[in-house]
Amino acid sequence: MKFKLQDHILVPKHELLSKEEAEELLKILGVRKEDLPKIRADDPIAKEIGAKPGDIVRIIRESKTAGRSVVYRLVI
Amino acid sequence: MTPKRISGIKFEVLSPQEIRRMSVAKIFTPETYSDDGYPIESGLMDPRLGVVDPGLRCRTCGGKAGECPGHFGHIELAAPVIHVGYAKLIARLLNGTCRECGRILLKDERRDKYISQIEKLKELGQNYDEIVKEVFRVTKAVKKCPHCGADQIEVKFEKPTFYYEGDHKLTPKDVRERLEKIPDEDLPAFGIDPKACRPEWFVLTVLPVPPVTVRPSIILETGQRSEDDLTHKLVDIIRINQRFLENKEAGAPQLILEDLWELLQYHVTTYLDNEVSGIPPARHRSGRPLKTLAQRLKGKEGRFRGSLSGKRVNFSARTVISPDPNLSINEVGVPKVIAEELTVPIYVTPNNIEEAREYILRTEHPKANYVIRPDGRRIRVIDANREELAEKLEPGWIVERQLKDGDIVLFNRQPSLHRMSIMAHYVRVLPYKTFRLNPAVCPPYNADFDGDEMNLHVPQSIEAQAEAKILMAVQEHILSPRFGGPIIGGIHDHISGLYLLTRGEKLFSKEEVMELIRPINVEKIPEPKYDGKWTGKQIFSMILPDITLEFKAEICQGCEKCEGENCPHDAYVVIRNGELIKGTIDEKAVGAFKGIIIDEIVRKYGTEEAKKFIDNMTQLAIRAIMFFGFTVGIDDEDIPKEAREQIEEIMNEAEKKVEELIEAYKAGNLEPMPGRSLEETLEMKIMQVLGKARDQAGKIASQYLGMDNAAVIMAVSGARGSMLNLTQMAACIGQQSVRGERIRRGYAYSNRTLPHFKPGDLGARARGFVRSSYKRGLTPVEFFFHAVGGREGLVDTAVRTSQSGYLQRRLINALQDLKVEYDGTVREQTSGIIVQFKYGEDGVDPMKSFRGRGVDVKRIIKEVLAEKEG
């Protein structure tokens, strides 16, 4: 009966990227992992997802101007 | 001549060995110049430190006054002195290491853990300050050294530069010895790179002496030489140093030596930073504090903000601005005197050598001012040498020619708050002494002509001119990136003029039409509408390109049932295919901030068309208003006797009501509003009553002020002013307020605003209600209250500007390295760190968006439907 953070309205959807997806992303953007925005490994939602330092998280959130906006974060 | 790229900068600490190595002279004497005006050997001024005097040559490098960059010297300090800047760091280090053996107060493995953490962060390019802070924190608490077992009883204190171990005071020498003991392997845990910096270097044994060029002397009007503040300070340091040495040799008592040492420390500290807390700043004989090294660098006027990020530049000009409606919006009127002084360089090539020769041979503007030879020599072009120079001219030379018509310049008004505060204009050289600009381009600069000055910069290379022309041109900035609408457009008289022209169906004969149209390029005028006469609307249509729009004009009064096209006030604008069919043109159509028509033209036909439209529209508007004649006089605010009597009645009624409210309040009968106290309720009700009274008075007055009243025309069309202004001029000014409330304080202790009233008087008059109108004039008491309320306005305008200025500076410093890349991401330019994956999450440029929305749905629908029809 645990309360899942992702269920709350104010928390956007967080997904873990697979190794291949992560590589693909870095290639498309032409960046290194370190250039991405960061999220800490002890962040509550990172823990819920099971993210380890070095992983990349995909975050999908509702945007006032764009409808939907996708961002990525490196877990550190 | 390609500029070199800097690949990196590293900051290290100077070691005493390095200081001695780089020095060219050892300084002993506190004397500067000898009796005959010559600099002294081993003194502070040029043994071999550098030259300032034109004429002398530097002994070290042989350069002349402009060439020699100056050379460092050094002073051997008689005793070590703490460097203020490192004082805190020294304290932390002393607390973090053992007082006996000097090792860090951690077991080796813990230390190594910290070191590897720091390494990792460094690789990521992240800041490792937090870890270092933790190390200092942890080690400070340790009481016993894990390596040698010695006790660390002391928690050392320091104020400006003093360290106390328990009760015992540590001399800088002691401090240095302890720092020397710290081994290289322990330093990385403290965030220090042992190769770049050894802790003992934080305590100075040798003081580098800055070259003469860094602290030049100045010659006063009296002919005397005045030394730079730094030189004075160095003199002090040397003097004390000498005394200290002498006393030490002569075997003076401890106390005296200690005192001198402290004094030496004071002078060195104050030389490095004169604003250190805890010690009295060193002062001139006049009493003013000296400006020493730290002060030279610190904010706004200091090196970074005042000499590096911002500098005074050449090829610039500044004067008072004045309006010129006959210029295009992207031109700037440049006074001839200025144009003759500012120049544009021509790099001579086989293609332009003839043109360059011509400039040299000309004797009048635009001619050549200077010629630069390949060896760098500048030659002024004078009648005597014209022919000779013209002949000697070869590719590789540079000819500086005066500014002429058509040149591109950057024009700017400070404060430069947005990108439209600097725009590129074409030069028009004109007589007289002011910069001239088209009034329509005032809003982006926020310029008015009450004495404002503006700056001009001349781009010197072809690339710079091209960049200015393409990126910064005025017409590219007609739409504002802030809200997606036009920021350049008609103001004041433009709007009044077009209103007068297009209201109703005014008729013009052929001669009159010609006069109005004169400055505009129309190819063909349409047929007259009525019996050989044209209407104002037709004339306006002559400058309209093919657009189709429908909207409510500014003059629309918002009648309950809008009749649309058949609006009786002529307030519904219909434009079809470039013809104004119905409605009046005013601020909403053509004004600087609303300007629907301008907006449409920029989007549909581009910036060049829009510029032409604005030029034409302003010209037409001015001619129209000159045709009708427009003026304002005091009798525009006259209202008939009945109106004044009515207003008197309203005022009396209102004052009575206020008295009633006060009575009720005093008697305890007043019902408080939910959530508010009695007093608050009373005040609110009173303000309500008085506000309503003023508005009612205003309504009465406006009944009697018709559309033939110039002030009314301006208010209604949106040119300037509002109905409130008219109310205040004709009927009643209303309640003055401070911080949103009626005037409270005034006559100190006695609970009233002025001695004219009884204490505790809460009536309308007693708390700042002004009954009179501006026209009628204010009573002295009313005048006083009006001043009180008005003052608040002035003060908060002043405060607001400095606050918003600081906010803007912080935002700019945070955002200036960000750039939108070609893939839509926002990245920081040097590090490549991604900040946004899509600009603004939607990738939309606010300047091009329609009033901020991403997609202009209405417009798309309109266009699609129009296509289907036509």
pLDDT at B62: 67
Tell me what pLDDT residue B783 has: 95
Q: Spell out which residues of chain B touch residue A36, defining contact as CB-CB under 8 Å.
A: 834
- The full DSSP string for B27-95 is ------B-TTSPBPTTSSS-SSS---STT---TTT---TTT-----EEEEEEEEEE-GGGHHHHHHHHH
Q: Which pLDDT belongs to residue B29? A: 85
Q: Which CATH class is domain B26-70+210-304?
A: few secondary structures
Q: Give span(s): CATH 1.10.132.30, chain B.
A: 634-795
CATH topology of domain B316-486: Barwin-like endoglucanases (2.40.40)
Question: Least CB-CB distance to B832: which of A35, A65, A72?
Answer: A35
- pLDDT of B153 reads 66
CB contacts < 8 A, A to B, total 40
B834–A66: do the CB atoms touch at under 8 Å? no
Segment of B270-284, B285-299, B449-463, B565-579 carrying the highest mean pLDDT: B449-463
Q: What is the pLDDT of residue B678?
A: 81
B1 — pLDDT class (breaks 50, 70, 90): low
Confidence of residue B592 (pLDDT cuts 50, 70, 90): confident
Which one has a higher pLDDT value, B752 or B33? B752
ipTM above 0.90, yes or no: yes
CA distances from B543 to B513, B518, B597 (A): 13, 12, 12
Instruction: Choose among B415, B397, B420, B542: nearest CA to B482.
Output: B420
Q: In this predicted structure, what is the pLDDT of residue B437?
A: 95
The rounded percent of chain B whose pLDDT value lies above 90 is 46
pLDDT of residue B60: 65
Provide the mean pLDDT of chain B: 88
- Tokens matching residue B105: 């107060």
Tell me: pLDDT of B208 over 70: yes
Q: Do B833 and A35 touch (CB under 8 A)?
A: yes
If pLDDT is split at 50, 70 and 90, which confidence band does B88 have? confident
Domain B634-795, CATH 1.10.132.30 — does that match?
A: yes
Residue B798 has pLDDT above 70, yes or no: yes
pLDDT of B202 strictly over 90: yes
Q: Which structure tokens are listed for B712? A: 């009314």
Residues of B in contact with A31 (CB under 8 A): 832, 834
Task: State pLDDT tens for residues B279-317.
Answer: 888 888 888 888 889 999 997 888 999 999 889 999 999
Higher-scoring residue by pLDDT: B850, A37: A37
Q: Is B822 on the interface with A (CB under 8 A)?
A: no
Q: How far is Cα B565 from Cα B582, in angstroms, rounded to an integer?
A: 7
Architecture of domain A5-75: Alpha-Beta Complex (3.90)
> Is the overall model pTM greater than 0.90, yes or no?
no
* B791-800: long-range contacts, CB 8 A cutoff, minimum separation 24: B792/B737, B792/B738, B792/B739
Instruction: List helix spans (H) across B386-454.
Output: 386-392, 442-445
**CA A23/CA A50 separation, integer angstroms:** 19
Nearest CA to CA, how far is A1 from chain B (Å)?
36
Tokens read off for A76: 């550190």
> What one-character DSSP code corresponds to residue B212?
G
Section B378-387 average pLDDT: 90
**Are B557 and B571 within 8 A, CB to CB?**
yes
Binned at pLDDT 50, 70 and 90, residue A39 comes out as: very high
Q: Say yes or no for a CB contact (<8 Å) between A37 and B823.
A: no
Q: Residue B623: pLDDT band by 50, 70, 90 thresholds?
A: very high
**Greatest mean pLDDT among A26-40, B133-147, B156-170, B337-351:** B337-351
The pLDDT value recorded for residue B96 is 86
Residues of chain B contacting A75 with CB distance shorter than 8 Å:
none
CA gap B186, B102 in Å, rounded? 10
Residues of A in contact with B834 (CB under 8 A): 29, 31, 35-37
Confidence of residue B681 (pLDDT cuts 50, 70, 90): confident
Contact of B835 with chain A, judged by CB distance below 8 Å, is answered with yes
Between B544 and B124, the higher pLDDT residue: B544
May I ask the CATH class of domain B493-628?
A: mainly alpha
B841 touches A at CB < 8 Å:
yes
The reply to whether residue A66 touches residue B825, judged by beta carbons under 8 angstroms, is no
Domain boundary assignment for chain A: 5-75
| Averaged pLDDT for residues B243-268 | 88
CA B860 from chain centre, in angstroms, equals 40
Interface touch B834/A37, C-beta < 8 Å: yes
